[in-house]
Structure 1
Amino acid sequence: MGDRVDRPVRRALRRDPYQLVRLGAWSAAETAPALVAGLAVARAVDDGFAAGRPVTGFAWLAVLGGTWLLAAAGARQVVMAVAAIVEPFREDLLARVVDGALRGSAASGRGAGPAAVARSNLQVELARDALASVITVVRSFAFTVVSVALGLVALVPEVLALVLPPFAAGLGLFLLSLRALARRQRDFILADERTAEELTGMAGGLRDIAACRAEERVAAGVGLRVAEQARAARSLARVTALRTLSLAVGGRLPVLLVLIGTPWLIGRGAGPGVILGALVYVTQSLAPALDDLVEGLGINGVRLKVALDRLLRDDGPLPAARRRVPALDGGAELRGVTFAYGPHAEPVIDRLDLSVPEGDHIAVVGPSGIGKSTLAALLSGVLRPDSGLVLVGGVPADRLDPADRVLIPQEAYVFRGTLLANLTYLARAPREAVDEAVAAVGLSDLVERLGGYDAEIGSGLLSPAERQLVALARAYLAPARLVILDEATCHLDPAAEARAERAFAERGGTLLVVAHRLTSALRARRVLVMDGTSVRLGTHEEMLTASPLYADLAGHWNPSSTQELVP
């Protein structure tokens, strides 16, 4: 670990020396069986059962049983001592995270947001649990090794020559591979988290993805994350082979050497009980201790480093590259934008240049699947262009402050909660502003039917048209200067649709409507016609002359009908 990561760990260990002394004392009690086990077995066999004195044999086994009772009491106290060390560590870390989030919020002028909450509730807990595991494993390993060494000396000192060299070699091999193992384990953990984040985002936005026709694009992004995790897993598996080798050398080879060296040990006066006791020390204490150390440091040690590195790296103001940038106005511009759903797919948007000045009202018209929703997704920053530049208020759309634009897809969302919470989700609006928005988009009847703003609602409690009205009122209240309605009124009747679109046109700012009916184009200031071979922009009268597709749509339109723009 780097010094920055080591520092909070050292501080936690040095905070209260009494807790370290307490931990050491109870650790000695917990590892008492490691000191006594081989010796008790040897004496029970050689001095008891093999010598025809079963009482002596059982007495030695009773001594061993007593050490296990002592170990049980010690284990409970060890847990409490470790908790006394890691809980203050957790509080310090949490204080740093909260302080860093507040400083970052002050520097950026925005709230700390869910990222800071996630760090507080997930990464801090992960760091605490990992530190507790590392302390427990390292402490147990150290006391067990010392106990086994003392027990072997008391049993037959010559056996140390068969046990300690391979054990030291295995431990050394693990320590030498630890840096590479930690790096690969860290890469795998991060890749796993990125994959989980990508999948969670995908699952939570399935309707948006479908509305924007971004299935192939999203699938490609998820596939990249999965492939990245697979590469990290293969790399980790290769390094893990060294860990397996270290366990074989340090924990299994001593057993083989003791068995091979049995004639030599017997020549030195060792009896069958001594040989059995030495094997007990190696198989029941030494090898498991090495296994636990390798597992604990190789996984929880790395998790501790990753968590601390992330927390301490992020506890200051957000880096500029991650900061969202406010728009200068609600205008939008596309410069040579090309976008395709996949590397081998035909472009849906091909070298498109488009300028939408502040305050403009544009209706986007074209057949289904021609790219209207893709254009909306590009302008809102949901999708990034393969080439070219998408600007909103002079800012790249994918870096735009979410407060400066709002996109409503076909399938509007409401969450379980009060109607007021749903309406004010994007803005802190006073009651007067809420009343104005409700009246403007035609939501008043629904509010009355539900019994007021405090009524509990949910997706299954409202019809698709009612959900769209709630989403429209929510967008009306938002401070966004750019509003994009991607067939967001498709479930409304023509009169309700007209009322909602007029409300947004009078609200101010820039309005882009992916038209569901031709009437939307008639209400707009300009019409953008997408026909698959070209993109034309102009007034309704200009498009009647310039676009055969639009002229055909208008020629078949009956003002009294509800004809949809899906030729």
Structure 2
Amino acid sequence: MRRELRYAVRSFRAAPTVALVAWSVPEALPAATSGFVIANAVDRGFLAGRPVVGLFWLASLLVVAGAGALGTRMVFRRLGELAEPFRDGLVERVVGGAIRNGIAERPDHGALARLTRQVEVARDTYAGLVIVIRGFLVTVVGVVVGVFSLAPAIAFLLLPPFVLGLGGFVAMLGLAANRQRAAVLADEKLSAAAGQVFAGTRDVVACGTEKDAAALVKQPIDEQAAAERALAGVAALRTACFALGGWVPLLLLLFAGPALVRDGLTAGELLGGATYVLFGLQPALQSFVAGVGGSGLRFVITLGRVLDASDVPPAEPRHGTATGYAVELRKVTFAYGPHAEPVIADLDLSVVPGEHLAVVGPSGIGKSTLVSLVCGLRRPDRGEVLLGETPAAELDLATLAATRVLIPQEAYVFTGTLRDNLTYLNPGATTAEIELAAAKVGARFGDYDAQVSPLEMSSGERQLVALVRAYLSPAPLIVLDEATCHLDPAAERRAELAFAERPGTLVVIAHRISSALRAERVLVLDGAGAAVGDHATLLRTSPLYRELLGHWEAGRTPASQPA
């Protein structure tokens, strides 16, 4: 729990924290003055036979309450300045942890749940805790100031049991957090065991193994029940702490009332002390116990899970150095899982510098998997993928970024200026270079310094931005993974020809078979093997290539035939 609390405290930002403290001052006025006002209304007004004076004192509470309401309003307005940066920090941790896991090829199946659910739970409970704890401190400080100004004798009577009750509750928070965590884990264990049994209910009934199935879930049920009983015990202790801190002060005041009057206290002062207890200390302690004991524990546990999952070690550093940009695959085999059929099996391929290669095959046959292997995003199960003379998966990220550019089917565009989107792979590109690249690729842009929003752009517009960005990149290897699928055939042809004329190597995962006709060589993946060669060779040797070409030619119209 200490780690989570340290993280929460470090997330406080100076400016909004100071603003919250400043606006808490007027919010503390009702708590500080309520008992004092009641005492004067009784002693100087109603008991003195001057009801107008008593009403005047009571009316002053309305003014004070108005100031307190203004403070509360401003506190809630500034709360987002703490809660939203806290949420953003958690999002960065979750995304960063997921990326590190992906780079290290460690499966992280819970990243999406942490990002969409657990981060929001942590943000909401964090904001709630800020309000609860701040409100508690404001009220207690106001009550302490008010009761000492009213009658120090009452303060020394009320505050010790309140402090004892508060201290007991704070002392048991660690125990409560441990038991809450144990209850969550027990519930998850029971759900997993019950899910296995429920999934095989028909088999259990058919085989008459109900007793065995019940035995499988008996221990998780017993553990979950024990965890819930332990939580109930914590709830009982919490109630006892509230009784000590919230009700014992009032009882002491009532029992000591006659003695206090004999010592010179007035009836109004006694009533003011009771007001401080009933409308100050009791509600404050009740909200604190309920908020910290409920939302606080959820916050600690949820934040702990997010931190545990995001505190992942980085992947082993890659130390390889590229010595060229030829692409070579040597007996490469890759499967998605130890028991899955290989997507790519014993593939040999060599792409020399400056070559234009197209990869074709049915959907789902492994073309994008091949791209991931070539670009160093995945490691082969067997064999080697070399960029230059170095295994691609061993190259450090900076070297990979300088060696190859991959444009996937869904092009990435970020909110910012058009110039930033076009040049972030080559920040030093001039306007003239941008215009030349756009003209080559076939893109038409307006103001390069205008702001762009990905949500307001079509898929084709985003692809054109990504294509110009890749063209401007100094990387000698360009890989287009259906990167022109949202363009019309004419625009696709122009873009591919531009990259083919660009110095360097081009690998195109073909969206249309026409991409293969423009390539120097074609790799055909059919699931059982691979065939590679030029267009004429594959027409003779590859039935799948002839089939793909036949489907394409049958679907063409004279107007759509390439020039």
**Which TM-score applies when normalising by structure 2?**
0.54
- Provide, for residues 460-483 of structure 1, a one-character-per-residue CA deviation record: whole Å limited to 9, x for no partner: 998876664454223211233332
Residue 486 of structure 1: aligned partner: 481
Are positions 1:338 and 2:335 aligned together? yes
Deviation at 1:338, TM superposition (A): 1.9
Residue 205 of structure 1: aligned partner: none
- Of the three residues 496, 505, 510, the one matched with 1:501 is 496
Residue 49 of structure 2: aligned partner: 55
CA contact (8 A) 2:333 2:347 kept: yes
CA contact (8 A) 2:425 2:473 kept: yes
CA contact (8 A) 2:25 2:71 kept: no
Greater CA drift, 66-75 or 372-381: 66-75
CA contact (8 A) 1:251 1:290 kept: yes
Query: Any idea what SS the aligned residue of 2:168 has?
Result: helix
CA contact (8 A) 2:140 2:284 kept: yes
CA contact (8 A) 1:370 1:530 kept: yes
Deviation at 1:289, TM superposition (A): 2.7
1:55-454 matched pairs, under 5 angstroms: 55=49, 59=53, 62-63=56-57, 66=60, 69=63, 137-138=136-137, 140-145=139-144, 147-148=146-147, 154=153, 160=158, 164-165=160-161, 168-177=164-173, 181=177, 248-252=239-243, 279-291=274-286, 293=288, 328=322, 330=325, 335-339=332-336, 349-350=343-344, 353=347, 357=351, 359=353, 360-376=355-371, 379=374, 394-396=391-393, 400-401=397-398, 403-404=401-402, 405-410=404-409, 423-424=422-423, 426-428=425-427, 429-443=429-443, 446=444
Q: Structure 1 residues 138 and 512, CA, compared in 2 at 3 Å: closer, same or farther?
A: same
Query: Any idea what SS the aligned residue of 1:511 has?
Result: strand
Give me the whole-angstrom Cα distance separating, in 1, the residues matched to 2:368 and 2:376: 12
Deviation at 1:364, TM superposition (A): 1.1
Q: Structure 1 residues 517 and 57, CA, compared in 2 at 3 Å: closer, same or farther?
A: same
CA contact (8 A) 1:145 1:286 kept: no
Counterpart amino acid of 2:365?
I
> What is the alpha-carbon root mean square deviation over aligned residues?
6.5
Greater CA drift, 2-11 or 474-483: 2-11
Give me the whole-angstrom Cα distance separating, in 2, the residues matched to 1:559 and 1:9: 63
Identity rate, percent: 37
Deviation at 1:331, TM superposition (A): 5.1
Q: Structure 1 residues 7 and 250, CA, compared in 2 at 3 Å: closer, same or farther?
A: closer
Give me the whole-angstrom Cα distance separating, in 1, the residues matched to 2:545 and 2:166: 78
Give me the whole-angstrom Cα distance separating, in 2, the residues matched to 1:425 and 1:548: 43
Residue 512 of structure 2: aligned partner: 517
Query: Any idea what SS the aligned residue of 1:520 has?
Result: helix
CA contact (8 A) 2:412 2:462 kept: yes
Query: Any idea what SS the aligned residue of 1:516 has?
Result: coil
Counterpart amino acid of 1:349?
V
Query: Any idea what SS the aligned residue of 1:339 has?
Result: coil
Q: Structure 1 residues 150 and 323, CA, compared in 2 at 3 Å: closer, same or farther?
A: farther
Residue 36 of structure 1: aligned partner: 36
Deviation at 1:294, TM superposition (A): 5.1
Give me the whole-angstrom Cα distance separating, in 2, the residues matched to 1:9 and 1:521: 54
Deviation at 1:257, TM superposition (A): 5.5
Give me the whole-angstrom Cα distance separating, in 2, the residues matched to 1:24 and 1:434: 54
Deviation at 1:152, TM superposition (A): 7.8
Q: Structure 1 residues 253 and 4, CA, compared in 2 at 3 Å: closer, same or farther?
A: closer
Residue 108 of structure 1: aligned partner: none
CA contact (8 A) 1:36 1:67 kept: no
Give me the whole-angstrom Cα distance separating, in 2, the residues matched to 1:70 and 1:30: 6
Give me the whole-angstrom Cα distance separating, in 1, the residues matched to 2:236 and 2:529: 65
Deviation at 1:285, TM superposition (A): 0.7
- Provide, for residues 39-83 of structure 1, a one-character-per-residue CA deviation record: whole Å limited to 9, x for no partner: 558x56xx986xxx47356645644654775687699899999xx
CA contact (8 A) 1:166 1:249 kept: no
Give me the whole-angstrom Cα distance separating, in 2, the residues matched to 1:432 and 1:11: 44
Give me the whole-angstrom Cα distance separating, in 2, the residues matched to 1:430 and 1:238: 70
Residue 193 of structure 1: aligned partner: none
Deviation at 1:171, TM superposition (A): 3.5
Counterpart amino acid of 1:400?
L
Give me the whole-angstrom Cα distance separating, in 1, the residues matched to 2:257 and 2:279: 22
CA contact (8 A) 2:29 2:142 kept: no
Give me the whole-angstrom Cα distance separating, in 2, the residues matched to 1:455 and 1:75: 44
Give me the whole-angstrom Cα distance separating, in 2, the residues matched to 1:496 and 1:10: 52
- Provide, for residues 410-455 of structure 1, a one-character-per-residue CA deviation record: whole Å limited to 9, x for no partner: 4556678876565435433113322432343234xx46xx6x8678
Q: Which runs of 5+ in 1 are unaligned?
A: 82-86, 90-125, 189-235
Deviation at 1:286, TM superposition (A): 0.6
Q: Which runs of 5+ in 2 are unaligned?
A: 76-80, 83-124, 185-226
CA contact (8 A) 2:321 2:395 kept: no
Query: Any idea what SS the aligned residue of 1:288 has?
Result: helix
